[in-house]
Amino acid sequence: MTETNSSESSITTNQTDSGTVNLLLSRRSSTAADMVAPGPDAAQLQTILAAGHRVPDHGKIGPWRFVIFEGEARTKFGQMVAAIFAVKNPEASEKLLEFESQRFNRAPLVIAVISSPVDHPKVPQWEQLLSAGACCQNMLVAATAMGFGAQWLTEWYAYDDDVNNALNLNANEKIAGFLYFGSRTKPADERVRPDLAERVRHF
Ligand SMILES: Cc1cc2nc3c(=O)[nH]c(=O)nc-3n(C[C@H](O)[C@H](O)[C@H](O)COP(=O)(O)O)c2cc1C
């Protein structure tokens, strides 16, 4: 067993951290609609953000940023989403508009992960997009490890130019995901998954 040289890490080589492995092999998303308070507190939020920030990042660009929605900010965002939805769907019922206005109120905490790629002589934008996806997954895993339910959603409002403008996204930016976090009200059953063996070949 050999200690690494990193001053930041106490990771040892060739030793299984079975807690982490089990988490990765068993993680399940929770449904945002089934989440309740309490969500992560300030310190836990910081931990989730730090985990999201610690991802592989070719060129050390950091091509992502995070926007946090808690408390009243969730309602404010929902009202904006419902107003945009109403303009595009003039036939929408009051019930549907109410549903749209409550999108972020499904969970105590929502983090928008924004992919923010730059033109770089060596690092393709594709790789920068992947790095933002890694931010999302790291946050889901961290929150799950901390006992919270977590879900990565996009839904229509991740792809709407008016919503993007209201969130002050630049022209090059995209929503990688809206991540919902909260206390679980029910355990998630396992779901059908693609067959691993069918997707693996030795070259
Ligand atoms: C980029 C991305 C966007 C997603 N958007 C949605 C969505 O809008 N609605 C939805 O029901 N699931 C969405 N999902 C899937 C859920 O986050 C989740 O992965 C799925 O319910 C399977 O659960 P699991 O994570 O436990 O395997 C999305 C997943 C990814 C990676």
User: Using one digit for the tens of pLDDT, what is the confidence trace for 41-61?
Assistant: 999 999 999 999 999 999 999
Atom of ligand 1 nearest to the CA of 151: 17
On the 0-12 / 13-18 / 19+ scale of CB atoms within 10 A, 180 is buried
d(CA 115, CA 4): 32
Q: How confident is the model at residue 187 (pLDDT cuts 50, 70, 90)?
A: confident
pLDDT digits (tens, 9 = 90+) for 25-41: 999 999 999 999 999 99
Q: Which residues contact 53 (CB under 8 A, 6 or more apart)?
A: 62, 135
Inform me whether the pLDDT recorded for 103 exceeds 80: yes
Residue 5: what pLDDT? 46
- Domains, the chain, in order of start with CATH, read 29-70+106-186 (3.40.109.10)
% of the chain at pLDDT higher than 90: 92
pLDDT at 100: 98
Q: Which protein residues touch ligand 1 with a CB less than 6 Å away?
A: 28-29, 151-155, 177, 191
Where helices occur in the chain by DSSP H, the ranges are 18-26, 42-53, 72-88, 94-101, 125-145, 161-166
Average pLDDT over residues 8-17: 76
For a pocket test of ligand 1, which of 154, 190, 192, 196 has the largest count of ligand atoms closer than 8 A to its C-beta? 154
Share of the chain above pLDDT 70, in %: 94
Atom of ligand 1 nearest to the CA of 29: 26
